[in-house]
Structure 1
């Protein structure tokens, strides 16, 4: 295409103070006003930018904000940081019978999943508790209550990406629904199942099979959620294309405490334990007896899940953890934002335009300029945490959110990039290596109703920088 050729010719050997002439033409071809896009390309050694356009303009970065949060967290907490989840008891324990309550205190572990929770409960039973005559008490006191009550950003309140933080977040509080074409009997049907099945999540499946490719499999899928006193009913209708292999939809249909309680009851029984108590929310006290402590995977593992798959609630939990460790108890987003900015200032990164709401980019108010995001990446390149941060980013054409981008070109594997997308926002930022081995920082942010059209510009810039054409 002609506009791709014009974009390619913009790369100059001299540093540029403004956008080269033919890039505005490329943006025009994409029907994007030049002032709606910010671009910067800069050597990782901090040399003068090759391209700088609207670089100082404060922009909504969407999920690219996760680079700011994860870099600050790696500096503040270290890559070896681990979260703890404590289990206490009250009452007496005699021959496996606890005549009292079991108490679980969360500290905001963003990576606590069903498998790890099962192992934690196994540890509890190994400490001699087999029957609980009291209740299950959950202590969520390290977070301010309001952090779990934030309004959602769009009209999909049940989607997992909208889940609010919790001091005791299990499995990201999401239920993964699996859709597959079943070819049993005379007519194919839609097979629907939960990845971790809870009987209190009742599924109604009236979906049908339609002919066609799987590219737009979500286009005719509909669901409704009906909360009930003892659980929730999830009804699916619409159609699934016949050429689909297994597809998944993650929904958060239970509250954080419901999900923990119902998962506890199922796993405790599977482990052979007995429990008939209720759910109680209350803080642990000094009078309680510590039973066991669970430690999460290290932060260097957690940031990979956050950045490669753009996990919003994990990023929000991470920012709140920085506040906790800085002494803000209970933690909230205000203290977390202050802590994050202080960490950046200690590394010489003082950004007047920076606005941090929750650290995930799932926000209409978060702001950063392209030049300051590039400055952060250049600074990170010189820091000991650089290998961890870079390894957490999706690899172009190979994995994460960039798996399908430029996958069939020589650019595959030549860039580590975080992507961001909201309605009206499209962004990309990270490290790029050209065929000669020289590395650059690239940031492209578009804020416009047609922001998704900037993807062609992003890909053309990447291809030109990497392949020289």
Structure 2
């Protein structure tokens, strides 16, 4: 079911056009070298029954991260903006005079918001309950998710990129580790934060006097047998910078972070840290809640967090069909929700709900229907607030930031090689809103920024009378 292609073709046969493309859009497409047959767009005032502009709207496109709109809206509407997920802390044995003689169990519950800082709070709670030493093993229970292991480089052969981390029921900071870089004399200082005992850093970076623009392009990174090798040049003009990396499997990252933070908190541990199931005899100690779903959805959409979106899809499936969470349950939950809301998207192809996929598909018309339906949901304001604001934050922070249009559009972005998409809302006359969807799938899509900006300008104009 996960790889089911409905109408297994890129384009549907019925293609609607509401008149010719406006001259400014047509001109921008020609300058970018993108044929109009490779775009799908819809502009429609929320109060209108029909679009004021539509082109290629029935075509089926790769949505990239615009797919997150379906995942987050389905979750917010189904579960409510205040929904949280719990990491349970349990123990075996006895606790006396600050010493746990037995095993500690961390049972993952699919918390997408368990950052390094929040994991520190969890461990501080453990210390606050009087435990300073653990004489036993730390068991990491990942049973809430039942998904196959995947090669982190499978999608784009870039396994160290944080978006390629595999989701896990218990993971810290979506498995991302910070690599801090900074000039130090005539060298480059490089350190992992937190330090990972299992990874050694071999720093061969040189310092140069180039401009900081595109600084990551000058770096060469590889991980071989737990040796992280840094090569290339780093501009002194960059000062201190952070590069986020996916270095270890989630279990190992949790183990490393636990050991480091527990020591910082003055705790001691004599035993192993390993994956394991929660024993039936384990006793509950406390539960640690995630951030509310409204904030999780904001991080997913504003910053286009792929790992969090995948976790949300898995959690949605477990909520509707019971644990353990699987990809199949997540897809079925999305489709069931769409059916309940009478949102029929026959061309929809789902893989992971994040858009980090070569096979996911949807049309501009279906996305426009979703966005036009959203104001009916009690969760609409949380959903709308989760979108990046043009020229102000997230993936749109630098787009048209010095233009009068800044702050007048809330749009989810979606980018892959050959894909540049936008979908969301724009503000126009008298505080009213329009739905805007623009999907571009073409080899020259990376040159599509002027097309997107021309469409945003056009959409903010009052509709024709």
TM-score normalised by structure 1 residue count: 0.91
Cα distance between partner residues in 2 of 1:200 and 1:309: 29
* CA-CA distance at 1:384 after TM superposition: 1.8
Change (3 A) 1:21 1:415: closer
How far residue 46 of structure 1 moved from its aligned partner, in angstroms, is 4.2
- Unpaired runs of 5+ residues, structure 1, are 1-14
Q: How big is each residue's C-alpha offset from its partner over 1:232-256, in whole Å with a ceiling of 9 and x where there is no partner?
A: 2211111122322433221110110
1:338 matches 2:332: yes
Kindly indicate whether residue 428 of structure 2 is the aligned counterpart of residue 430 of structure 1.
no
Deviation at 1:149? 5.9
Residues 251 and 274 of structure 2 are in contact (CA less than 8 Å); yes or no, is this contact kept in structure 1? no
Q: Distance in 2 between matches of 1:206 and 1:371?
A: 51
**Superimposed CA distance per residue, residues 74-126 of structure 1 (whole angstroms, 9 cap, x where no aligned partner):** 01111000110001111222222222111110011011012211221222233
Matching residue of 1:254: 248
Alignment partner for residue 238 of structure 1, among 229, 232, 238? 232
The offset of 1:268, in angstroms, is: 1.6
Q: Secondary structure at the match of 2:297?
A: helix
Query: Distance between the aligned counterparts of 1:306 and 1:152, measured in 2?
Result: 22
Match of 2:434 among 435, 440, 445: 440
Residue among 137, 140, 151 paired with 1:138: 140
**Corresponding position of 2:9:** none
Could you list the runs of 4 or more consecutive aligned residues of structure 1 that deviate by over 4 angstroms after TM superposition?
147-151
The within-5 A match list for 1:359-374 is 359-374=353-368
Listed one character per residue, the Cα deviations across residues 295-334 of structure 1 (whole Å, up to 9, x for unaligned) are: 1110011111111110000000001000111124221111
Work out whether residues 194 and 260 of structure 2, in 8 Å CA contact, stay in contact via their aligned partners in 1. no
Contact kept in structure 2, 1:378 and 1:441, CA below 8 Å: yes
In structure 2, do the counterparts of structure 1 residues 29 and 430 end up closer, same or farther at CA, with 3 Å as the change threshold?
A: same
2:390 corresponds to which of 393, 396, 411 = 396
In 1, are the aligned partners of 2:181 and 2:190 still within 8 Å (CA)? yes
2:52 equivalent in structure 1: 50
- Which residue number in structure 2 is paired with residue 161 of structure 1? 163
5+ long unaligned stretches in structure 2 = 1-15
Identify which range, 371-380 or 430-439, moves more after superposition.
430-439
Deviations 1:379-434 (A, max 9, x none): 11232211111111111001100111111111111101110100111101111012
Partners of 2:255 and 2:274 within 8 A in 1: no
Q: Secondary structure at the match of 1:357?
A: coil
Q: TM-score, normalised by structure 2?
A: 0.92
- Deviation of 1:348 (Å): 1.7
C-alpha RMSD over aligned residues: 2.0
Q: How big is the shift at 1:50?
A: 1.4
Q: Which residue of 2 aligns with 1:203?
A: 201
What is residue 277 of structure 2 aligned with on the other side? Answer: 283
Whether the 8 Å CA contact 1:92–1:100 is kept in 2: the answer is yes
Task: Give the conservation status (yes or no) of the 8 Å contact 2:63–2:362.
Answer: yes
Deviations 1:170-225 (A, max 9, x none): 1111111122334x4xx4x3232334333433222221222222222122110111
Pick one of 263, 267, 281 that aligns with 1:273: 267
CA-CA distance at 1:16 after TM superposition: 6.5
Contact residue 64 and residue 356 of structure 2 kept, 8 A: yes
Partner of 2:349: 355
Q: 286-295 vs 15-24, which deviates more?
A: 15-24
